[in-house]
Amino acid sequence: MALGVLPVYFTPLMGIRATEQLLDREREFRLEKDWVPMEKISPFLYRAVIASEDQKFLDHHGFDWEAVRAAIDENRSGKRLRGGSTITNQTAKNVFLWPGRNLLRKGLEAYFTLLIEFFWSKERILEVYLNVIEMGNGIYGAEAAARVYFGKAAVDLNRQEAALIAAVLPNPLRWRPDQPSSYLRQRQAWILRNMRNLGELPLNGAQ
């Protein structure tokens, strides 16, 4: 797979969001995206996203079945809907697919999840994820987010800034890491605790 080694400069979601902006005359067109290799992303940021999104990322093979079962149980009990997707799932749907929840879309997501887990290293999956994930209105990837929100390169993000960026990922079109609400501050504190609990990660010299 060529995308296992080449930078991913554009995704279907970027195209959809750009089209939405162009069709809405009241919205300013924006597409902030800069690919950077893993060594130019702060170790605090990939520790933060693992701590917040997928704490078993280094151990599973694309699917966290315990999280999936917990999500099903909570959804059936009428509690707030939650997902059981992993970083690999999210990378697969961001790189290869369109937004949606139908069976065809979910089946393709599972297929691409297995494919990239087989062909890509964990570091490569995380590198692609951190470069393509939506982090704001027209903002994609760690480098663009770091520069827009904090005026610095992704490699220079500190622990607190990284945790704030990770905190907005469930809803990046609603929240901004540079304008944190009390709820985002709570999520940031939770992520920082999880980062401490995870300790060092065997990825690119994590601190």
Residues of the chain with pLDDT under 70: 1, 65, 67-84, 204-207
**19 in any annotated domain:** no
Q: How many domains does the chain have?
A: 1
Rounded Cα distance between 120 and 33, Å, is 22
17/60 Cα distance (integer angstroms): 31
Q: Does some domain include residue 125?
A: yes
pLDDT value at residue 1: 59
Q: What is the pLDDT of residue 92?
A: 95
Q: Is residue 24 part of a domain?
A: no
CATH number of domain containing 84:
1.10.3810.10
pTM of the predicted structure, to 2 decimals: 0.87
Look at residue 123 and tell me if it is in a domain. yes
Distance CA 170, CA 167 (A): 7
Query: Quick check: is 52 in a domain?
Result: yes
Q: What is the pLDDT of residue 206?
A: 41
Query: Per the domain annotation, does 81 fall within a domain?
Result: yes
Of the candidates 38, 30, 45, the residue with the CA atom closest to the CA atom of residue 5: 38
User: Amino acid identity of 128?
Assistant: V
Residue ranges making up the domain that contains 41: 29-198
pLDDT in tens, 83-121: 568 999 999 999 999 887 788 988 999 999 999 999 999
Instruction: For residue 18, tell me if it sits in a domain.
Output: no
Q: For residue 139, is it within any domain?
A: yes
